[in-house]
Structure 1
Amino acid sequence: MIITTERLRYFVSVADKGSFSAAARELGVSISAVNQTIINLEEDLEVTLFERHSGKKPTLTVQGRALYFKSLDVLPRILGIEHYAETLKLGVESAITVAVHPYSFYPSYVDLFKTFTSKYPQVELNIIDSEALTSFDEGFDLMIAPSSIEILRAMNVAAIDRLEWKLVCAHNHPLAKLKGNLEVADLQNHTQVLMGEGFITKPEYREALRYSSSVINVTNFYQYRQCLLQGVGFAPYPAQLLDTNTEKDALVVLDFEFGSEGNSWPIDLVWSDNVGIAGQWLVEQLMKIND
């Protein structure tokens, strides 16, 4: 066969490195193996791909440059297909869907997703909003969300983190000007931003976070955040999401005692028994992320 993955790899490596010896080191083979592979390719194509002069670096010919640029387009795809086929043989799934609640979309989890894509580049990682789910049987492999009161069937559950609530408002909001510890009576005179009910946010969860009779109901966390940043109202906010520069500069943490209910909720990791090797790796890393 004239064109093979090995021949293209050797050819591109010589062109990129500028020498047969450097290509051999990169590929982990002998110089003679690289040289013979290129010679065989040239003979089969009946063209000269490199100009060779004693004491000088090999340079691409006109035909060599044409093949080089085509190889740059084709070779990564071929190598990707080969790697994908290998992962399938090893039992690595082709895609993983992770449902993450916006309250618990912590920076540490995002960093882990980045590491995951480097470790399993051929696995398609899909991240969806857990509030948009309608049941635990709906298409997700893992879920990271505040603890649910639902009884899960054929699912694994483990507490992996905590959600610590802080009461916040914008700098230009009237509550930001009050001094000392705030009482519920202080909040009653102001509008609260409140997330609407969803798959995770049950009515009882909403009521546990409600401190005013005047509310603005929003359907997603983007609206929730923007209302706060614009000074529309006050609201509880996950402490773990207050570390970004935008939140630090724009939001004020109010001095408020949450009472006997406390201001900390468990964060659960939920996963299916059907996850493959990549999914199991992700589960293991999430389980020890706070160790």
Structure 2
Amino acid sequence: MSDPRPTLDQLQVFLAIVDAGSFAAAARRLGRATSVVSYTIANLEAQLGLELFDRDSTRKPALTEAGRAILGDTRTITMRLGDLVAKAKGLHAGLEAEVALVVDVMLPPCSLVQVLDAFQIEFPTVALRLYVEALGAVTQHVLDGIANVGICGPVEFQHVELRRSQVGAVRLIPVAAPSHPLSRMGEEADMHVRDHIQLVLTDRSSLTRGQDFQVMAMKTWRLADLGAKYALLKAGIGWGSMPEEMVRDDIENGRLVRLAVTAWDNAIYRLQSIYRTNSPPGPAARWLLDRLKDTLAPV
């Protein structure tokens, strides 16, 4: 037997027969003559050296053991080839092969999930790389070319290579565990926050290293991960601010208490879209930025 080289058309005809249940039904589905479908399968069987359909013992063609064995691989191959063709068409039209997105850790997870769920439907051929960073690390990722586009916080850093645009804001509120002393002080908590450990999100990048953002306490614990801060707050270790949307359920169910801290109450954390001026976002990346803006509260 010569080296078999099935064509995409042959494999698609094979699948059409399996799905339609007969050669005639497959022919109607494909818009071809039944004789053409039969001839195509005969050639495929000759190339593979295998009988794929039992045409004699059943009224309708049934898959042989060999036919069943190659069915899964055939579906995979045709799907992959279909994806390749779709991606090639997208690239020809200017669509990116991949988008690398970096977002600020303060971006509400539900907003991000909602947009990314729609993204996979809108751009099925575009791969995505997602990074979640804090403060200046978002800007650093874009500057270093690790990410094409980003959603960053209110970092006071200007660079000629960067284009920024306001996209919305997140409301921050001061919270602590019910067991924390500040939670039991009510309105008097405002006068005592300086005396208790404040959990502060810190920067992993060099852009804003050493800068403090709304630090009020004499003693601070600095964390580079918002998830770790969240866990410590619920454990009663220190107090600090969190995105209101992220802790709303905890407050309603008594796992956290909103503190009466005037300077932190209803603080606004402004978010911006960001990209390099010499590498503007393509259609898919621009779609991401626009949809993320639509989900955020206005500035």
TM-score for the superposition, normalised by structure 2: 0.80
Query: Which amino acid is 2:95 matched to?
Result: V
Aligned to 1:234: 239
Aligned to 1:158: 165
Gap runs ≥5 in structure 1: none
Does structure 1 residue 282 correspond to structure 2 residue 288? yes
Does structure 1 residue 39 correspond to structure 2 residue 44? no
Aligned to 2:270: 266
Change (3 A) 1:108 1:129: closer
CA deviations on 1:107-160 (whole Å, 9 max, x unpaired) are: 112210122122223322111234445475211211112122222324332211
2: distance between equivalents of 1:58 and 1:249?
Answer: 65
Q: 1:9, CA displacement in angstroms? A: 2.4
Gap runs ≥5 in structure 2: none
- Secondary structure at the aligned position of 1:250 is classed as coil
Matched ranges for 1:163-178 at <5 A:
163-178=170-185
% identical aligned pairs: 21
Change (3 A) 1:135 1:99: closer
Aligned to 2:99: 96
Does structure 1 residue 142 correspond to structure 2 residue 178? no
**Partner residue of 1:114 out of 112, 117, 120:** 117
TM-score for the superposition, normalised by structure 1: 0.82
2: distance between equivalents of 1:178 and 1:56?
Answer: 83
Change (3 A) 1:231 1:3: same
Task: Decide whether the 8 Å contact of 1:136 with 1:152 is kept in 2.
Answer: no
- Secondary structure at the aligned position of 1:84 is classed as helix
Aligned to 1:197: 203
Aligned to 1:82: 85
Worse-superposed segment, 84-93 or 54-63: 54-63
- Secondary structure at the aligned position of 2:152 is classed as strand
Change (3 A) 1:214 1:38: farther
Does structure 1 residue 15 correspond to structure 2 residue 21? no
Aligned to 1:251: 256
Number of residue pairs aligned between Structure 1 and Structure 2: 284
CA deviations on 1:45-94 (whole Å, 9 max, x unpaired) are: 23543334799553212232233133134333222222222222121112
